[in-house]
Chain A
């Protein structure tokens, strides 16, 4: 592998490999190579340029894993999936955030939709992904006091990232709006179709469109087809 990495164990059943300068989609590719190494569907968490394997006694194979990763060739150019996520931008923090960022709410909403983002990792809650990177003008530290209740489907920003709350939770991110669909469904397989390295665009919808989509309540493959970007 061209990229430098550092690999270490955390107890018997957990190994983390931290990489230097890999793209999220390359992390996803490395994760799929690791499944080949173990010859089965292992549990891998991709987060901040690192992969963590949760696998019984995987620490015993640390040296082998190091050799495997050292010799691995990861493609530089990979084509990600792209998803277009419909958002009703009427979030509770919209006005206060616009004021803090010294812009109008209209400018804020337009700026949030102005680029194509990348899924950088999972964490925090089931089906919560970190989506980066926000334009400089939208970057703001998380709230000093977290809100006790951030509603389900909230689209919120903090730091360099956007996050979507799959369930109601406490949280310190600024809520811009609400997504029209549920992306995480524990009764579906896979429970979430969007993966690390995928691209994401946000698209503003009005209340009527939002209500119509909520009523549709698409799931599984129908939801995936509805959200895939038209190229």
Chain B
């Protein structure tokens, strides 16, 4: 078990997501930064859908109750293993009684703590990704126990991966959405700037540098998914993220790529962002 001695700001268990149930209204969920999450499992030679602990901005203090190997993946993060600084994207051995303290994600927002074999927490609808509608709680709390299988004396080949630099001003790549025509035709997307005003696991609110509104039409409730950009009546753009609902009533003006969702997940509140057309965007 990994015991949560002190919980972080927003600790959850996440995997690749909950596929196959959107037809009954169940959100996709899954790790906010799928790239960092995938790297964690790759370094441990885990199955790609092994569940990891996702921490947001400020992590907590975690006690290993059994020996294992673990990695911390994501942007540069301040963390200690038994009072010694550890690096990201690097394999470490934890003994029974080791304490991991994840202090602060410095160069981004989300980081992942993964153990050999993954966390064996409760599965709901074939996934371990925590969603309040299925688990009854928003996040992990002090005292929670995350089961995992004990490992000692493993041989894992450790290639130091190349780390993609966090872009100073992230540029999101998008294709037009079904209601793209709701926008003014003169708008040049690549010249627009956005400010990230707030965010959570469901969505990111972006304030555009120019007024985007064109029509007051709302659409009938229609299918949405992570990556859809909705235009609200007040002219804000909501980029739907991993925990997005399956339907929404605002015009779907753009769809950003999955890679862009990973970038966005690591963008801090207040930051400035750009937008450009994805390669192959059919205009």
Contacts and interface: CB of A to CB of B under 8 A. Distances in A.
Nearest to A44: B23
B25 A123 contact: yes
B166 interface: no
Contact of A127 (B24, B177, B247): B24
A122 B132 contact: no
Contacts of A225: none
A75 interface: no
B19 interface: yes
A52 B125 contact: no
B251 to A, nearest CB: 13
Contacts, number: 93
B245 A123 contact: yes
Given A16-B223, A46-B23, A192-B24, A11 B175 contact: yes
Chain B interface main SS type: loop
Interface string B7-24: 000000000000111111
B178 A45 contact: no
Interface in A157-215: 166-167, 184, 186-187, 190-192
In this complex, the interface size class of chain B, counting residues with CB under 8 Å from chain A, is: 20 to 34
Given A123-B245, A124-B247, A126-B134, A11 B227 contact: yes
A45 B133 contact: no
Contacts of B104: none
B247 A43 contact: no
Contact of A41 (B20, B26, B177, B228): B20
Interface in B16-60: 19-27
B124 interface: yes
The 10 closest A-B pairs by CB, nearest first: A123-B247, A52-B223, A126-B26, A122-B25, A186-B124, A126-B133, A186-B134, A48-B220, A126-B25, A45-B23
14 contacts: A11-B227, A14-B225, A16-B178, A45-B22, A47-B223, A123-B25, A123-B245, A124-B245, A124-B247, A125-B245, A126-B25, A127-B26, A186-B124, A190-B24
Interface of B: 19-27, 124-125, 131-134, 136, 175, 177-178, 220-223, 225, 227-228, 245-247, 252, 255, 257
